[in-house]
Amino acid sequence: MARLPIVEYPDPRLKKVARPVHVFDARLRQLVADMAETMYAAPGIGLAATQVDVHERVIVIDVSETKDQLRVFINPEILWASEETTLCEEGCLSVPGIYEEVRRPARVGVKAQNEDGETFTLECDGMLAVCVQHEMDHLAGKVFVEYLSALKQDRIKTKLKKRKAREAA
């Protein structure tokens, strides 16, 4: 297993749209294992392949407190979304240190495949619903800060640039 480098906003590679997975083989299982290791090490509760510069429809999530309930979503699709929305503070391993509230449907139905290519459906609520939607946005080339005003996005970019400069100094 290996930890993979995480691409950070506003890197243009985060805007790439991921392709569907067609081959469920050892390479895919290795990617999933490496993504899980990278997510747990960060530490984070979700990671999309886009964030490790692999542009395929693969997501790993673990919203459990015990960090032992890994969920893998390959080729995920939203089947339905609740009309009820929820405002939740989100963060992202690609936008380190930034936490902002985003409004999203409170519950979603998701269809996806596991590492063996078997299709499953899952009704998600709470943090899992937020996380699935956040990670699926990554696969579409969207980062959560893009829900915020242009002014806020500029402030975040400036903040991240300053931090990078400080770290390099």
Q: Which of residues 91-130 bind Ni ion (CB under 5 A)?
A: 92
Residue 48 beta carbon to Ni ion: minimum distance, rounded to whole angstroms: 7
User: Coil, strand or helix: which one is 29?
Assistant: helix
**Residue 38 CB coordination number (10 Å):** 21
**Strand order in 119-124's β-sheet?**
46-48, 58-61, 71-81, 108-113, 119-124
For 140, other C-beta atoms within 10 Å of its C-beta total: 13
Does residue 135 have an active-site annotation?
yes
Query: Catalytic pick from 56, 84, 118, 135?
Result: 135
H helices present in 80-125, as ranges = none
Fill in the per-residue mask, 68 to 97: x = in contact with Ni ion (CB under 5 A), - = not in contact: ------------------------x-----
* Shortest reach from residue 68's CB to Ni ion, in Å: 21
Between 103 and 119, CB nearer to Ni ion = 103
Query: How many angstroms separate the CA atoms of 71 and 68, rounded?
Result: 10
Minimum gap (Å) between residue 132 Cβ and Ni ion = 12
Q: Which is nearer to Ni ion, 51 or 113 (CB)?
A: 51
Give the nearest distance from C-beta 26 to Ni ion in angstroms.
27
Note whether 45 binds Ni ion by CB under 5 A: no
Neighbouring C-beta atoms of residue 101, cutoff 10 Å: 12
For Ni ion, the closer of residues 17 and 25 by Cβ is 17
Nearest residue (beta carbon) to Ni ion: 92
- Contact at 8 Å (CB) between 3 and 41? yes
Report the residue number, 74 or 139, with the smaller CB distance to Ni ion.
139
CA atoms within 13 A on the CB side of 9: 23
Number of residues counted as binding Ni ion (CB under 5 A): 1
List interacting residues with Ni ion (CB under 5 A). 92
Q: Which residues are catalytic?
A: 135
